[in-house]
Amino acid sequence: MENKNIQNEVQRAGEVEAAQRICGFDEVVLGYTEKQAIKEAARCLQCKNPACISGCPVGIDIKKFLYQITQKDYSGAYFTVREKNNFPSICGRVCPAEYQCRNACVLTKKGSFYASANAINIHFLERFVGDYGAKNNLQADKGATALGAKHKVAVVGSGPAGICCAGELARKGIKVTVFESLHKTGGVLRYGIPPFRLPRDVLDFEIDDLKKIGVDFIPNFIVGNAKTLDELFAEGYSAIFLGLGAGIPSFLGIPGENFCNIYSANEFLTRVNLMSAYKFPEYQTPVNIGKHVLVVGGGNTAMDAARCALRLQKISGITPNTTVIYRRTEVEMPARRLEIEHAREEGIQFKFLVQPQEFKGDDKGFVTTMRALECCLGEPDASGRRRPVAIEGSDFQMDCDLAIIAVGLKANEILTKVTPQLKTDKYGDVVVNQETMETSIKGVFAGGDIVGGEGTVIEAMGMAKKASQAIIEHLLKQE
Ligand code: FAD
């Protein structure tokens, strides 16, 4: 009886009040206290065959680390997680757990809208132990191999895939250099995901940790432009890992999309997050903000763009008025449920079943309105989600002096275009052997969003881990 009650007491992580958090970019979710973490971990049924583990793309032993929390063995819990996941403090903050481990938890009620509401909050517990590890400077075992410093490996891109691969190799004593085209490291973790979801000290800690174990980072360096893959091999790199991400935004392809004050979400977020536009003029990059902001899309990128825009309205003294436009309904939105919930609490408005048709502008070339059609849902498409069908004659207009387009990202082809031997698919993604993540070029491996398109942080890391194993085997063969 007592157990039953414990299982119903879902622990909600502390959060900053919506009215306060929209005044800045500080972290929204405060995480669990020790007491809450123990209570939440104690809700775990310790299933004989824990389904949650198969729901985790890297197979963390969730059952074990939750049990260790209940025993107050936080170091043990940290190392259990670290066996599979290099960045628990990051994943604990950004993983779409409701589609992954929590979806597989037996406490998830199938068929209801917020199906995982009763599932164990595995992500908050992962964050708890990750932050504990960072605070107490717990070092994961280096496990150095005989490969030592005989080989050096080049990693292209410093997003989750690149830094995960770099860490795996460096911990085996292999010399790794990470080349990054931007002036700062972290990929989407820095230029896409805002600090109110992933504070920069959490990211900096992980990157500094890699530097401490000998990983070199070379920013402002576009591989394919500054140097080709052949040139890197000629410089003595024994293997190369490509973690190029999916950095090129897609657009709607409708009339008027080139009016001023229509941004891709990528540009908008890069200005805000990477270039600190929210601190302009202290930082030099500005970003325009409007009175009527429309954000088109339903994924994490759309939620991040909308929540940044609303904060900028607030900071600039404009009455917050930001609306997310999505062509399906909330059920089909791919964004993390927590982000949708937070966006709504913060005052973001949602308009579902809307398909933009055209942007109109003034004689100076600035956007003023969006014309759209209402939709209904038809049969499911290839993604399994019901297809939006525009309703003829349902035209309507919305005021819009700033629009942000967040309808998807695709591969950046700077490197692949100058490397014809590197096989790509029709989307420009790099083709790999799924077992080894090796590309069509011997000694060149790839993982993350450049393989198979937009995914998640943990999926990118899972691929990078697999690739790092194959890289080690490749180096051993060269011995
Ligand atoms: P990226 O993170 O894109 O990193 C690639 C890096 O490679 C970049 O830094 C790029 O500058 C660099 N690069 C590219 N080409 C070159 C070159 N030729 N030379 C040198 N460097 C190069 N996932 C989640 O799990 N949870 C979330 O909450 C979430 N939110 C998101 C929010 C936004 C706004 C976006 C855009 C994505 C989000 N995602 C989220 C998806 C997730 O961030 C990606 O799946 C993940 O970052 C992919 O990692 P990656 O290392 O493959 O690529």
400-416 confidence digits (pLDDT tens): 999 999 999 999 999 99
Name the closest-CA residue to atom 15, ligand 1.
244
Q: What is the rounded average pLDDT for all residues in the chain?
A: 93
pTM given for the model? 0.94
> Which of 32-41, 136-145, 166-175, 289-298 is predicted least confidently?
136-145
Handedness of CA 294, 354, 454, 65 (dihedral sign): positive
Other C-beta atoms closer than 10 Å to the C-beta of 440 total 14
Largest separation between any pair of C-alpha atoms in the chain: 71
* Closest ligand 1 atom number to CA of residue 448: 52
Other C-beta atoms closer than 10 Å to the C-beta of 213 total 17
How many whole angstroms from 186 Cα to the centroid of ligand 1?
8
Strand partners, 445: 241, 438
Judged against a pLDDT cut of 90, whether residue 330 lies above it is answered with yes
Cβ contacts of residue 133 below 8 Å, gap of 6+? 75, 78, 82, 88, 89
Q: Could you read off the pLDDT of 184-218 as tens digits, one per residue? A: 999 999 999 999 999 999 999 999 989 988 999 99
Query: Which residue among 300, 407, 432, 437 has the greatest number of ligand 1 atoms within 8 angstroms of its CB, and so is best to mutate?
Result: 300
List all residues whose CB is within 6 A of at least one atom of ligand 1. 94-96, 156-162, 179-182, 187-188, 192-193, 222-224, 243-245, 247, 269, 300-301, 304, 336, 412, 414-415, 448-450, 455-458, 460
How many whole angstroms from 449 Cα to the centroid of ligand 1?
7
Check residue 10 and report its DSSP letter.
P
Burial, 428: exposed, middle or buried (Cβ in 10 Å; 0-12, 13-18, 19+)? middle
